[in-house]
Amino acid sequence: MGPLAGLKVVEFPAIGPVPMCGMLLADLGATVIRLERRQPAADLGVERPLKYNLLLRNRPSISVDLKAPDGARFAMELLDSADALLEGFRPGTMERMGFGPEPCLARNPRLVYGRMTGWGQTGPYAAMAGHDLNYIAMTGALNAIGRRGQPPTPPLNLVGDFGGGALYLALGVMAAVFAARGGGKGQVVDAAMVDGAASLMTPFFGMAAAGLLNPERGTNVLDSGAPYYDVYRCADGKYLSIAPIETRFRRVFFDKLGMGGDSMDGDAKAGWDALREEIAARIATRTQAQWCAVFDGTDACVAPVLSIADAPAHPHNRARGTFIDIDGVAQPAPAPRFGGTPTATPRPPEPVNSRYEQCLRGWGWSDAAISQWQGNPAVGPGA
């Protein structure tokens, strides 16, 4: 089920953005086989029971010793009929293992070779280690996030790993598959987190060039500078997100908050500090639930700041089915949604080799082809 039904993807072992990309493609219906090391690496250095490693949901994995000749041959035979490959090693690693673009595309000219790195395949930093925070630091994104007078604030690893990494890899792979199916050939997709994070900053570079963005963080409308685009503490210690950027929405907000018409002069930066203090004082008089009762159903652009524990239970999220329960674990549902080719409920993360023969049959291999690998110490249960 899903719009990507029939797409076949081989995912090489990696952490972070590559598993996220594999999950996204599998959630939308692609058949993804994840090749796993004998001892899987801990994602983000966090050990946890398999059922909670949600980036591994919805696709089987097979253990393969890629350094062994038989393991390498097994992986190549999978790639012979694949539409796409996903890998996240440092530049040159796949080539040293014998899985570089040249031999893979020689065997399967229509293969889309998706490469995920932090710095990219080329450039002075290409061979250096790094993580999300380093990549977004190089693009202007990190410097722009934070409050006035405070150091830059790390925004989880959403901007580099997942936004600038996994999503751009998925987009690039699907664009290349589209081109290949339209009569073209396979190609390499060089997806770098530094490039993706920079791309996400496009509108802000335009604003800066036009002189409409103050280089000091925490002084602009969208970076907590404006008092009407911020979070405020309620009487119960919980928070509200306030975001009525447009004048017409701000009018609703101030009316519901019980503030006078003078408050509408919110575009005058000279009055931002005083206005923030007044908003904070009023928000602090009621609980989050009480304020939601005031603002829900209006155009005031106000919403509660929910924890990971609370988000699945919110009435809007429940009505939308934004979160689902899989094997007793609440987690985000597949996104986006499709009217004509709906996605199936994802399967929970599975132990390595738990559906070894089944997934190879689903890949199109015959029983005879599968039996040739039975008991091989480099592949599957024998590895």
Catalytic residue set:
131, 161
For the chain, the residue count is 383
Query: Virtual CA dihedral for 271, 275, 276, 282, nearest 10 degrees?
Result: 170
Cβ 278 vs Cβ 272: under 8 Å: no
How many other CB atoms are there within 10 angstroms of residue 254's CB atom? 23
Question: How far, in whole angstroms, is CA 263 from its chain's centroid?
Answer: 38
165's CB contacts (< 8 A; 6+ apart) are 16, 17, 20, 21, 116, 118, 132, 191, 193, 196
Residue 101 corresponds to which tokens in the numbers above? 């673009």
Residue 191, φ and ψ in degrees, nearest 5: -100, 115
What region, left, alpha or beta, does residue 239 occupy, with left being phi > 0 and alpha being psi -120 to 50 degrees? beta
CA–CA distance, 286 with 300 (Å, rounded to integer): 17
